[in-house]
Amino acid sequence: LAYWLELKEVFTLHNTPFPMLLLRNSVLLATEKQNQKREKLNLSWEELFLKTDDFIQKKTKDFAQHVFDFEQQKQFLKDQFTALKEVTLQTNKSFIGAVNAQEAKQIKGLENLEKRYFKAERLKNQDQLDRMLDLKIALFPNNSLQERVDNFSTLYGEFGQKMIDELLENLHPLE
């Protein structure tokens, strides 16, 4: 669609009606076995459509038995340094650079702890995450939509005419 929208002025210049644009349907085909695996792993289709990094982070958080709110701690630190800066500005303004540097150091330290925490949680649940990622990779080869990697003839060979019938029954691009 973006490509066609770039051409709108060309159509206007040549006094040609601009075509009606329609976003094409995209379909993900999953075997019954893949769907059973998805259900067994307690994954939703929405989760599987997440970007891989977001997917890993979400599932790692879901597995965590002890959730620690790092954002709340970062905000607490920022509030503390805001109060310290106010006092500093009233006493010795030349000290503000050191306060800003210390704030950045403390926030960075907390961010590093957050990364290590999630890495430890991820390692603790690595087997489960690997099984989930295997399914995600099977459904989204090369981290892309299935239709951009798999050939139609391969899918037709696997699913047969039933695939065409189901596509016609379920896809309604103008609705």
Instruction: Encode pLDDT of 81-135 as tens digits.
Output: 998 888 888 887 788 888 889 999 999 999 999 889 888 888 888 999 999 999 9
pTM of this structure:
0.64
User: Given the structure tokens 């310290």, which residue do they identify?
Assistant: 84
Identify which of 4-18, 51-65, 66-80, 145-159 has the greatest average pLDDT: 4-18
Residue 42, pLDDT > 90, answer yes
